[in-house]
Amino acid sequence: MIDLSFRDKKFKLVEKFFIFLLISVVIIITGFVFMIVRGMNIGVEFGGGANISVTVHEAVEYNADEFKSDFVKWLKDKGYSVNNTVQTSNNDTYEFRIGTTMTKNGEKIDLNAIDPDTGDTYLTSESGTLKPEMTDAVVNYFRTKYSLSDDDFNNDSVTVNVHAIGNQVMKSLIRAAIIAVSVAIVVMLAYIAIRFTWISGLAAILALTHDVLIMIAFTTIFYIPVNSTFIAAVITIIGYSINATIVVFDRIREIEKQPSFAQLSDKEISNMAVTQTLSRSILTTVTTLVMIVMLTIFGTASIREFAFPIIFGLIGGAYSSILLSAPIWVYLRKLFRQENKRPKQKVAKKKATPAVDSVAE
C-alpha cells in the first residue's frame, strides 16, 4: 500500500519559493514568446470569421493530405484568408477557419463591412450563417471534385456545415467572457477576505492569476483553440484551484489558533500547513486528471478543446496551491508588516460560582 501521508515530513517550501516561482515565470514567458512569434489559435467566437466543417464519409475515396491542401488552395484562390485547419478525432471531419478579410480583384475587403443596401455584412446573413453564395460554392466544389451526384450528396457522402461570427457578435462574446471571469474572481476575493483575511484573499487571487497565465501559456504553445469553451475551462479551473488553496489557508488558520504553536513563525506555519494538506492536494488532482485524460483520449474534438486547457489548469492549480499560495501569503504578511502576528483569541469567560462554606461536622 502506498503511503501518501506527509504529516511527519518537514519540507521547507517557503525557503524555495523563488525557485518555484522562476519555473512558472519561464513557462509563462515561453508562452508569450510563442504568442508573439506564431500567435494564438483564436477561435471564430473571439476572432471573427467562419468555421467550415467538412465530413467525408466512407462512400468517397480520397487522400487526406490532398483533400486538405486542395480545399485550402481553392479557398485562397477565392480570395479568403485561411487561418487554421484541424483534423478531428474521427479522422474524417476537417475544420477550416477563414478570417474576416478577403482579396477580390486585387483589393482587400473587410467581410465585416456592412452592406448599405441589405444591412448585412458579406460574412453573415441575418440568420448568422455564411452568405448563401459562399455555402453553395463550397458544396459545388465538393460535388465537382469528387464527381458526386445530388443523390450522393444528399445521402451524406460529404457533409458541409458552415458557422460564421460577425464583428458585433464577436465583440459581445468577448465582453461577456471578460465579465464572467471578472465577476468570478471578485466574488471569490470577497469570500476569502471575509472567511479568512484580506491578505489571504490577495494571495489566493495572485495564485489564481498564475493558474490562468499557465493555462494561456500552454494553450498558446500547443496551439489549442481559444474560444468560448476555453473560457468555460478557465472558470472551471478558477473554482477548482481556489478550493485547493482554501484548504491550505484553512489549515494555516487552525495552526494559528493552537496555543502550542504560538511561537512559530509565518514560514514555519506555512510549511506545516502545506505539508499536512499535501496528500489531499495530490490525490484530488490525480483522480481528477485521470478522468480528464480519459475524456481527452476518447472524446470528440470539441471535448478535447475543453479538456486540454483543464489539464493545463489542473497542473498549474496544484502547483500554485502546494508551492506558491502559502509562500505568497508569508511574503505579503511581511510586505504589509503583519509578519508573525497571531490573531487574537477570544477567551471564554467562566461564570463565577458562589462560594460554599464548608460545615464542620
Measured between alpha carbons, how far is 186 from 181 in angstroms, rounded to an integer?
Answer: 9
Give the DSSP letter string of 275-321.
Answer: HHHHHHHHHHHHHHHHHHHHHHHHS-HHHHHHHHHHHHHHHHHHHII
Are 257 and 343 contacting, i.e. CB atoms less than 8 angstroms apart? yes
Q: How many CB atoms lie within 10 A of CB 160?
A: 14
Q: Which three cell numbers stand for residue 344?
A: 487574537
Closest CA to 317 of 226, 247, 229, 223: 247
Measured between alpha carbons, how far is 88 from 75 in angstroms, rounded to an integer?
Answer: 20
Measured between alpha carbons, how far is 307 from 288 in angstroms, rounded to an integer?
Answer: 11
Averaged over 200-204, what is the pLDDT? 86
The 10s digit of each residue's pLDDT in 264-322 is 888 888 888 888 888 888 888 899 999 999 988 887 777 888 888 999 989 999 999 88
Residue 158 host element (H or E)? strand 158-165
The 10s digit of each residue's pLDDT in 136-171 is 777 788 778 777 776 666 556 777 777 766 666 667
Domains of the chain: 14-40+169-335 (1.20.1640.10), 49-165 (3.30.70)
Residue 51 host element (H or E)? strand 49-56
Closest CA to 219 of 352, 40, 45: 40
The per-residue pLDDT for 30 is 95
Instruction: Note the Cα 90 to chain centre separation in Å.
Output: 24
Measured between alpha carbons, how far is 30 from 304 in angstroms, rounded to an integer?
Answer: 23
Measured between alpha carbons, how far is 20 from 3 in angstroms, rounded to an integer?
Answer: 25
The 10s digit of each residue's pLDDT in 55-91 is 777 666 777 778 788 888 888 887 777 776 665 545 5
Backbone angles phi, psi at 60, to 5 degrees: -110, 130
Top-ranked range on mean pLDDT: pick from 29-33, 152-156, 176-180, 298-302: 29-33
CB neighbour list of residue 358: distance below 8 Å, 6 or more residues apart: none
The per-residue pLDDT for 347 is 46
CA angle, 278 then 190 then 274, to 5°: 10
Averaged over 216-240, what is the pLDDT? 85
CA angle, 30 then 35 then 37, to 5°: 95
Work out whether the CA dihedral 176, 181, 186, 192 comes out positive or negative: positive
Question: Given the DSSP bridges, would you call strands 93-104 and 49-56 parallel, antiparallel or unpaired?
Answer: antiparallel
Whole-angstrom CA distances from 59 to 42, 56, 88, 146 are: 33, 8, 19, 11
Q: How many CB atoms lie within 10 A of CB 243?
A: 13
Structure pTM?
Answer: 0.73
